[in-house]
Structure formats: structure tokens, C-alpha cells
Structure 1
Amino acid sequence: MPSWIRVVQHGVMRRGAAAVAAAGLALAGVAAGGAAPAQAAGPVCEGTRIDTLDFATGYTYLYYSASTGRNCAYTVPKSGSGSPQLMAVGLFRASDNVGVWDSRSDYKYHAGPVYLDARGTCVLFNGQVRSTAATSGWGHCGSLAAGAR
């Protein structure tokens, strides 16, 4: 296993490395288990969609739920939905460099969702479909109050 993956797994990552690791995870398509179960189409996160990464092969959506105080992200393909293909999604918190990701291959409809409480800090999110990936910058810096974003 590459050393940068071990660093991310232990949650001990410097801010500058977070963006590199986030992009690397999406590009690597690191297996986190066997084939994914069948998934339904449509929004999979609760709350309000606050951002979208639009890249050549897919979209990664970022949501925020005021009722739970959590961010949620998932990735969908632009084409080939219903056919198994490599997809990934990651979501990272700036305050302590903690990240969550779902980078198994062979999803039919979407990678994720992944959830992360990021009240009072910024988030970075990324996604991948097949060989193309996209990463946001640090943003969506929220207030500590659950309803403020």
C-alpha cells in the first residue's frame, strides 16, 4: 500500500497533503472491498445541494444537512449508468485533516455517499469516473452552529 494512503487512513495528514491525497485517492481507485451492491438512481444525500464538480466523465455532488450538521458527497457517471465502472468519491475536513472516501470500482450508479461533520471548518471534495477525476479547493467553510453554512 502506498505510504500516502496509510497516512490518510490514520487521519494524520497535513493540510497541503490533503488535496494531494484526495486527488490521489480518486485517481488510484483504491479497493476498499468487493464489488458494490446495486444502487438506485437519484439523489442519495439528505439536505441541500451546495456544490457540484462537473468533469468530463461525471459529476460529484456536495450536500449539507442543517438538521444533522453533516456534509455528504457522491459521484455519478455522465454515461454508462447501470453498467459497472470505476467510480470514487472523497470528502475531507480542514480543521483536523480527517477524510472519508469510497473508492471501490464497479459501481453501477454512484460512488458513495460519504458523510462528514464539518461545522466550523472548510471541506474539500473529489470524485472520479473511469480515468477522469476532479477535486475542489478548500471551501464551504461553515459556522459551528448546525444551521449555519
Structure 2
Amino acid sequence: MPSRMGVLRHGVMRRGAVALAAAGLALAATAVAAPAQAAAPACEGTKVDTLDYATGYTYTYLYCSSTTGRNCAYTVPKSGSGTAQLMFVGLSRASDNTIVSDGGDYKYHAGPVYLDARGTCVQFNGQVRSVSANSDWGHCGNLNAVAR
């Protein structure tokens, strides 16, 4: 027969284990309840242009780094984030017709895509679902272009 001390210690340990398990379940429930956030695209440099689609539901952004000469572009929907849908972003360099692009069924954004364009013009475009927009050739070596 166990001593009263042994029973008491066993009861305390059992209550402690139950409390620890309950705390773990509460923590796990909190982690499950919080929705995962998509990382925002990160482009180095300054935003130099924006394609604002006629529907008003999508943006494609163009950035340029005066340090590296690299351009960066990505497309994001204003609404509908979190729902997989067709998205696309493209970036072209005039000097040699190089094109970089990214497209597919994405929840948050297409891209970013990067292209070195020192001393040449660029063109960028994007699409969400069936709505698309294209820029003219521009930002021709001007790393300090004003955003429109």
C-alpha cells in the first residue's frame, strides 16, 4: 500500500501533466486559429511606375535600384487575395529583347521578377484572371523616373 506522501506526489504530478497538456492544446488551438499571412513581394530600390488596371482590381508595380541597375516587377490583386487565381507579370529589356516573367495560379502575387536594365528601356505587364495591362517602353536608363 502506498504511503499518503506517495499518493499526494502522484496526484500533484498527474494534475501538473494535465495542466501542461491543456496549456499545449490551448497554444495549438491559437496557432491553428491564426491565418497564415503571405509575405509581401520585396523589390529593392524605388517604385518608379504602376499599372492601374481599368477594372481597378489589380496593380503591377515596377521598381528600380539605382545601386544595382536592376528593375523588379510584380502583380497583385487589390481584392481576392488568398484565392488561387491566374496571375502573371512580365518585364522586358529593349536592348536585346530579354524577357523575364512569372505566371500561374497564385493566391497573393505573381513575381517578383528581376532584370538588369542599365542604359536601356523597359516594358512591363501583368494580368489577374482575364484582365491585363501593358506599359509602353520607358524608364530608359533614367533611374530617377517619377512614379505616375
Change over 3 Å in CA distance of 1:99–1:89 after alignment to 2: same
State the percentage of identical aligned residues. 73
- Residue 102 of structure 2 aligns with which residue? 102
Q: TM-score, normalised by structure 2?
A: 0.68
Higher deviation after alignment, 115-124 or 38-47: 38-47
Counterparts of 2:37 and 2:99 in 1: how far apart (Å)? 23
**Letter paired with 1:64:** C
- Residue 121 of structure 1 aligns with which residue? 120
**Letter paired with 1:140:** H
- Residue 18 of structure 2 aligns with which residue? none
- Residue 90 of structure 1 aligns with which residue? 90
Return the index of the structure with the highest Cα Rg. Answer: 2
- Residue 58 of structure 1 aligns with which residue? 58
Aligned residues of 1:126 and 1:133 also touching (Cα < 8 A): yes
* Runs of 4+ residues deviating >6 angstroms: none
Deviation at 1:42, TM superposition (A): 3.2
Query: How many pairs align?
Result: 108
Deviation at 1:85, TM superposition (A): 0.7
**Letter paired with 2:70:** R
Aligned residues of 1:44 and 1:74 also touching (Cα < 8 A): no
Deviation at 1:46, TM superposition (A): 1.2
Richer in helix (by share): 2
Residue 71 of structure 2 is aligned to residue 71 of structure 1: yes
Gaps of 5+ in 2: 1-35
Gaps of 5+ in 1: 1-37
Counterparts of 1:135 and 1:148 in 2: how far apart (Å)? 21
- Residue 132 of structure 1 aligns with which residue? 131
SS of 1:103 mapped into structure 2: strand
If asked which structure has higher relative contact order (CA below 8 Å, sep 6+), I would say 1
Aligned residues of 1:39 and 1:109 also touching (Cα < 8 A): no
**Letter paired with 1:46:** E
**Letter paired with 1:129:** V
Q: CA deviation digits over 1:51-82, x for unaligned, max 9?
A: 00000231000000122210000000021011
Q: CA RMSD in A?
A: 1.9
Counterparts of 2:50 and 2:121 in 1: how far apart (Å)? 16
